[in-house]
Chain A
Amino acid sequence: MITHVVAKSLRQHALSTWVTAVSIAMATGLLLAVWAVKDQSLRAFSNVTGGFDAVFGPRGSELNLVLFGVFHMDKAPGTLPWADYEALQRDRRNIKAAVPIVVGDNFKNFRIVGTSADYFSVEYQRGRSLTLAQGRHFAAGAQEAVLGSFVASRLGLRVGDVFAPYHGLEYDPSQKHEAEYLVVGILRPSNTPADHVLWIPLLGAQNMPGHRAEAATDISAVLLQFNSAVQGPVFADQVNKGTRDKTVAMIAPTVTRFFQRFEWLRVVLGAMAALVALVGAGGILASLYNTMNERRRELAILRALGARRSTVFGAMVMEAAAISALGALGGFGVYALCASAAAHYLRQHTGVVIDPWETSAVFVVAPAAVVVAGAAAGLLPAFKAYQTDVAENLAPHS
């Protein structure tokens, strides 16, 4: 029956209930988004290594190497001589696989990457490698291209179509190359950055008309797979400390460090969300407290009918908790909107796919904390209800 009393009261004070619940929903949604999206992004980005352990490139920032080599998002810091790639290939003791890449051109803002056929045979996740949905792989040395699924659908390119690359990593119509490439294959969606790339043979990228002739054998970077997990950091350390013009960036640790840079943002957003939650809890306190005058008679009637002080106290706390719970529930809706927008943005711009509903402790902890805070906000009004003098509020006296 106490739940019935609470439900009635919520309905009787519908406007303040909804206004307060909505503010709590915003706070809960923000709280969930801040934690869950960050954690899931970190996990997703850390998993998107293309199956490689490290990027070997010219001396520069490790983050820059990972961003351009794995996520196709940044500029290459320079070039490497072909001899470096050959040396890596010979290092069978440490290196299981070495795949060269060359960047420098785009087609309508989608990056064109030159590589060898080996790139497609590496498993980007356990048991999964890039496979063709249509057509075949390009032939080494031919002016042929295999497109990532996202690029193909976004640009409406099909097998048999022809396109001409543009020089540079950003689309500039005046920078069109004369060479034309024939689309010979389209990859299946992999939910990795590879979906956003137009893949061409290494020689095609190296010898693109308009590129420096003396750099025709240079490459942008080499993606590495080590024989064992312990070899990677040791090898990276040797290169990074032992050479002046080379850098090895371990992909997963670099991504983690990158996300750690934004820890302050999480703290700020988390603090903001906590503040909004506090305001919401304050709203509960204010809305219940302000209606105490009109509720006193009702509480006195309940008491006169036999309700105990503890019953009316509990009803008020439960009402506060119910408003918070409504807000927390609504918070999942707000989170769904925020997280879907974030997931869409990430997919559009990086090809990385996050699952906003992947199991996370924050989905339990945050709503529970919000409900507890709301219930705590109901303690003061509940205490006022507890103190309600029945006789005084059952006027008139005769």
Chain B
Amino acid sequence: MPLLEIRNLVKTYQAPEGTPHTVLDLPQFHLDAQAEVALSGESGSGKTTLLHCIAGILAPESGAISLAGHSLTSATEADRDRLRARHVGYIFQTFNLLQGYTCLENVLLAMAFGRGTDAPFAQTLLGRVGLGDKLHHLPRQLSVGQQQRVAVARALANRPQLVLADEPTGNLDAANAGSALALIREMCVENHAALLLVSHDAAVLGAFSDRRDLGTINRAVARPEGGPL
């Protein structure tokens, strides 16, 4: 049984003029436990929307998402929050660290909403990403690359089965992007987490053997707007 299974997922937004706009129409998608998949697609192809649906942040109009044996689409919002906290780690392009919190507190806070705080493990994670000496630094006291590493440690705080990474190297220079990508992949392997990474960077995508193009599998992108489903 795959870790993540998606069937006939449709997500529609209301356009400013009031007309519905389908951004995702995904007949089928799956991801095995501890797998490593890179998802490509042009800007606006629904990559972030898909990750948000998988994380339970967005509720699709129709279709089914099953994560670690739990149906996200039939779960209440509170249940989706709980599932996200316990099973999903999310790495954002803009890191989304809480600026008033230290590195350690950012990781501990994520734990608080998931499996409970575990300060030694939080310190281990931060040590593993090379920030053992910056536990009490605020994000603004860190370089962009270091902030990304805090985000990686935070994503793994609850020992998730799935890590979602949305353009994780988008804000980094080439040198930092390479090392950040390597770190994310290593950390997922070490923590037995599957990785679903979204990028439009060919260098990043080239590092993955399992690559899927959302432009092809998302029927909302593949067909002209308003065409037959």
Contacts and interface: CB of A to CB of B under 8 A. Distances in A.
Report if A and B associate in a common complex: yes
B166 interface: yes
Given A12-B100, A303-B81, A306-B86, A397 B117 contact: no
Interface of A: 1, 4-5, 8-9, 11-12, 297-298, 300-311, 390-391, 394-398
A11 B82 contact: no
B57 A391 contact: yes
A303 B57 contact: yes
A5 to B, nearest CB: 7
Contacts of B82: 306, 308
Contact of A1 (B47, B99, B117): B117
A306 B78 contact: no
B109 interface: yes
B57 A304 contact: yes
A12 B99 CA distance: 10
Contact of B47 (A300, A303, A305, A398): A398
A8 B81 contact: no
A306 B100 contact: no
A394 B92 contact: yes
Nearest to A310: B78
Interface stretch (B26-34, B48-56, B178-186, B187-195): B48-56
B55 A304 contact: yes
A395 B170 CA distance: 13
A241 B102 CA distance: 82
Given A391-B52, A391-B57, A397-B48, A305 B92 contact: no
9 contacts: A301-B97, A304-B57, A304-B96, A305-B90, A391-B52, A394-B92, A396-B93, A396-B94, A398-B166
A396 to B, nearest CB: 7
A311 to B, nearest CB: 8
Contacts of B112: 1, 4
Interface residues of B, number: 41
A360 to B, nearest CB: 40
A5 B109 contact: yes
B222 interface: no
B43 A309 contact: no
Nearest to B43: A398
B162 to A, nearest CB: 14
Given A305-B154, A310-B78, A398-B48, 11 more contacts: A1-B113, A4-B112, A8-B105, A11-B100, A306-B84, A306-B85, A306-B113, A307-B113, A391-B48, A398-B198, A398-B200
Interface in B110-169: 110, 112-114, 117, 154, 158, 166-167
A306 to B, nearest CB: 2
B96 A301 contact: yes
B98 interface: yes
B77 interface: yes
The CB with the most chain B CB atoms within 10 A, among A1, A297, A309, A398, is that of A398
B218 to A, nearest CB: 13
B58 interface: yes
B92 to A, nearest CB: 7
A398 B77 contact: no
Nearest to B155: A305
A295 B68 CA distance: 32
The CB with the most chain B CB atoms within 10 A, among A301, A309, A395, is that of A301
A395 to B, nearest CB: 8
Contact of B167 (A5, A12, A398): A398
Contacts of A4: 105, 109, 112
B98 A308 contact: no
Contacts of A305: 85, 90, 109-110, 113-114, 154
